Amino acid sequence: MAGWTIVFGAIVYIPFRRSPTASQAWLLLFFFLPWIALVLYFLLGNALHPEWRRKRLERLPAVLQPIIDRIPDRPPGDFTGLKTRHRITAQLVENIGRLPPLYGNEIEFDGNYDRVVDRIAADIDAACHHAHLCFYILQNDEAGDKVLSALERAAARGVQCRLLIDAVGSSTDRKKIARRLKDTGVEMHVILPLRFWSQATRLDLRNHRKIVVIDGRIGWVGSQNMHRIEYEPKTFYRELMARVTGPVVLELQTIFVGDWYLETEEDIGTEELLPRETLAKAEIGSGSLLQVMPTGPDFPEAGVDVLFTDLIHNARERVALATPYFVPNEELLNAISTAVRKGVKVELYITATTNSFLIDFAQESYFEELLSAGVEVYLYKERFLHAKHLSVDDDIAVIGSSNMDMRSFELNSEVTLIAYDGRLAGELREIETDYRQKSKRLDLEEWRQRGFFRQLAENVTRLISPLL
């Protein structure tokens, strides 16, 4: 009787607080495993921060507004050079994340894993005023040591060094890192440490961002965490990061200032974090037009999936998506299928095997549908493809921390960089070409020959995919 009471309560309560797809998955779990589902829903079921965190979020706009006010709210000529459909996208991004598109930027993609670690360490070594870092995963291994040592050296010469790491993503080494940095002058805080009493936190609401800001002049954003390239045994990661200079760095700075405030209640948004020469570049009208969009539970109105869906709907010739985890919602899946029907070439690059068998089954459950629609699906074989980016036609390039799954769409705090720039879209195409040469393209008829029990596992896992 108690089990049925739980089920009926779930039917009344859950649909009003979740998307239809997620509601169906939760209700299915409640029907078969009511007590387990009740515990899981209590821990993971509602994509809202606890009350103490929501109160900080209410105060956050007042903290960020002085910084946002100093960032030019329009490029010269009011989106000069943008196609009409991209002007609409730029407005959408600004409405979600409150940060405008800005000219005057230089950007460089770098997919060499070890070189990125060395370059970030070198940028920290050249810092004069501050170094701000936020990573989902930071380990005290040979890669993390280079960055941590650079922070220690910078702090020793008087640079203000601030470091944020996620409590879950960095759980294996966060205590070691805290002990290491004690008395070094580097300020480190753990994002949302797990607590079940005063100031309780949620296990599943994580800060998944990767951000570096040096002196308000240099920024890094993308997919790469700070750990050695062989994160799991015999699993070597392939990433893609973007190094940026120019006014868009101040948008990354704004996100970091907000994240720092949410953890510490300290407002660090002083004028020194926004160099005048960096701001001035936005008025020149040259350089790449870039825009940053933060998403996550702190921005409940819309997630990064809204951007992906909008861009795919607006595509005219070609879309290429790269992600390690592809568990789409219905809107994104429909946008992809619709694009193919309009004659748009759609390519999907995903790693051949993820680090989760549940996600493997879940994303494989979509392959037949995608292949039947005409999507070109490539399984990357050389390494674990952890890069996360999207290119549209010949003029839009998107890179960031977000996977294409429900966790990134609803639960994780993410950061995404949008480049309205044909040269950068071309560079992404070259990277995608390299992926293609090192991948196996799935064949529909061959895929249909997979075994019955594998198909059964895929179908069962798909039912709970909104919860993964």
| pLDDT one-digit tens code per residue, 33-56 | 665 555 556 555 566 677 888 899
Is the per-residue pLDDT at 466 higher than 70?
A: no
Mean confidence (pLDDT) of the chain: 87
| pLDDT one-digit tens code per residue, 283-294 | 666 788 999 999
SS (H, E, C) 218-251: EEEEECCCECCCEEECCEEEECCEEEEECCHHHH
Contact, 355 vs 225, CB < 8 A? no
Q: What is the pTM of this model?
A: 0.90
Q: Could you tell me whether strands 235-238 and 384-385 are parallel, antiparallel, or unpaired per DSSP bridges?
A: parallel
Greatest distance between any 2 Cα atoms in the chain? 70
Overall fold of domain 51-288: Endonuclease; Chain A (3.30.870)
Is the per-residue pLDDT at 74 higher than 70?
A: no
| pLDDT one-digit tens code per residue, 116-130 | 999 999 999 999 999
| pLDDT one-digit tens code per residue, 225-240 | 999 999 988 899 999 9
Going by the DSSP 8-state scheme, the letter that residue 308 receives in this structure is: H
| pLDDT one-digit tens code per residue, 204-218 | 789 999 999 999 999
Q: Please name the residues in contact with 43: beta carbons below 8 A apart, sequence gap of 6 or more.
A: 202, 203, 204
Q: Do domains 51-288 and 304-467 have the same CATH topology?
A: yes
Q: Where are the domains of the chain?
A: 1-45, 51-288, 304-467
pLDDT of residue 84: 79
Give the model's confidence band at 364: pLDDT under 50 very low, under 70 low, under 90 confident, else very high: confident
| pLDDT one-digit tens code per residue, 294-323 | 998 887 677 899 999 999 999 999 999 999
State percent of the chain over pLDDT 70: 84
Whether domain 304-467 has CATH 3.40.1280.10: no
Distance CA(224)–CA(240), nearest Å, equals 7
Q: Could you tell me whether strands 389-392 and 396-400 are parallel, antiparallel, or unpaired per DSSP bridges?
A: antiparallel
